[in-house]
Structure 1
């Protein structure tokens, strides 16, 4: 039975408070496993407005209704409103996810700071950001984290090495390269280890293999405009291949306004014969000794602005 790994990025205070509980209930209703990756420090979402000069930013914003999904208050955090400390204020909500039987891991310390800066930062800055997240996670859950998924699929060589230093066994920090129609550019892509500066690292990388909802909505693919009415069918068409996949969703999207679409996807994947599980489930199914070693590299994906880690 193929595995559809569900990786849930929780970027914001609002997503943690409002999106996560709904996702927990929906997943439980479908008997699905998943991994929740939490932002553990301040919510500086308002600082993301500086991305307005980035190529493709306005196209993405106009297609995905950032204001509708994130809310005006969230977009003011760090600008006109103080940034709430997500890990301090939402620790109970995070522990409730664990208590409901779901795997929890690290997304980042400060989502906007990491996403906008990590590519060009050095080892000391990178280690400080990651150690803050590691310490906060350990304080909240009473155990060290086992998994990680980078904010915005942004990393650097120091960050990948730091995963090994922190004892992170498996992560999903990058993306599989996709064609314009959402399919895999390299059909055989899957879990692997990374080679960074000539050294093969221990941490297993499990790249996201499917496009995200915000990358698809509003685009025209093969002459068809992708809308909330047809997007679930489109994604289910991509998983009809019956191979293992990793799907990244967001508490701010699938956990709120786009929840009905995610409900359709869960039902559709079960009908296709998929087992819906966590990153831990995927990791447990792998033969580490047989995994390929691939170089760290950057690339672009259809529907997303800027470069990110791509396999």
Structure 2
């Protein structure tokens, strides 16, 4: 049976407090597995306002109703309001663990990591990652088994740190996509990353489907993607059975876009997929042979800037 590994990025304080419990309820209702990846430091979402100078940023904001989904208060954190400590949301994080879902690390400081890590040195990178690793142990009582990079942003030292932490698998990058969200290379899947000529041990399981915020509001093949047809569009991308990794967000699918996520879960079940955690997916494929791929930066349709990618 083909699988869709569900990778849930939890970016904000509000997403942790409100979106995470909603997603736990939805997933239990549909008997689906998933991996929740938590931001563990302070919520400085407001710092992202400096991205206004990046090409394509305003286009994305206008398409995806950022204020509606994230909330005005969240957009003030770190600017006009102090950033709340997301790591204090222990009750919500323990709920995820206690309901049987895999938990892992997204980042320490989401905006800082996403905007800076590509250009930072080993000391800065290790400090950020080790803070997240220690906070995760404090909250859950065990070492984080997996990682999914904020904004799909990493550097060579970050990948080396995953190996140092003993992580066997992670999902830090993206498969390259065509404008409609289909895979440029249908064979793209899990791989081992080569950094400075050395092959990393931590298996990378790239996101292979577009996210909701990358599709909403765009014109694809003469049709505007809306909340009414986006689930059908994504299901058209999974009509041919193969394993996928799908990234969703506690701030989107865990709140106003929850009905779309439920449509996807029902649709994937009808297509014959098993929706699982990253851990489940890794155990299913662990004995396979994987290609080695170089560290690559590229863009994907509907998202501004470059990110870690594979083809």
TM-score, with length taken from structure 1: 0.99
* Corresponding position: 1:218 with 2:214: no
Equivalent residue for 1:45? Answer: 45
Give the gaps of 5 or more residues in structure 2: none
CA distance in 2, matches of 1:200, 1:122: 20
* Matched position secondary structure for 1:191: coil
Equivalent residue for 2:86? Answer: 86
Equivalent residue for 1:2? Answer: 2
The CA deviation at 1:288 is 4.4
Equivalent residue for 2:293? Answer: 294
Equivalent residue for 1:29? Answer: 29
Equivalent residue for 2:69? Answer: 69
* Matched position secondary structure for 2:202: strand
* Matched position secondary structure for 1:5: strand
For residues 194 and 288 of structure 1, do their structure 2 counterparts lie closer, same or farther at Cα, with a shift above 3 Å needed? farther
The CA deviation at 1:241 is 1.0
Equivalent residue for 1:54? Answer: 54
CA distance in 2, matches of 1:153, 1:202: 19
CA distance in 2, matches of 1:100, 1:7: 16
Give the gaps of 5 or more residues in structure 1: none
For residues 95 and 225 of structure 1, do their structure 2 counterparts lie closer, same or farther at Cα, with a shift above 3 Å needed? same
- Within 5 Å, give how 1:84-233 maps onto structure 2: 84-87=84-87, 89-233=88-232
CA distance in 1, matches of 2:281, 2:55: 35
Question: CA offsets per residue over residues 116-140 of structure 1, 9 Å max, x none?
Answer: 0000000000000000000000000
For residues 135 and 188 of structure 1, do their structure 2 counterparts lie closer, same or farther at Cα, with a shift above 3 Å needed? same
Equivalent residue for 2:280? Answer: 281
CA distance in 2, matches of 1:276, 1:289: 20
For residues 271 and 289 of structure 1, do their structure 2 counterparts lie closer, same or farther at Cα, with a shift above 3 Å needed? closer
CA distance in 2, matches of 1:181, 1:85: 38
CA distance in 2, matches of 1:157, 1:24: 34
* Matched position secondary structure for 2:174: coil
For residues 274 and 289 of structure 1, do their structure 2 counterparts lie closer, same or farther at Cα, with a shift above 3 Å needed? closer
The CA deviation at 1:287 is 3.6
The CA deviation at 1:181 is 1.2
* Corresponding position: 1:20 with 2:20: yes
CA RMSD of aligned residues (A): 0.6
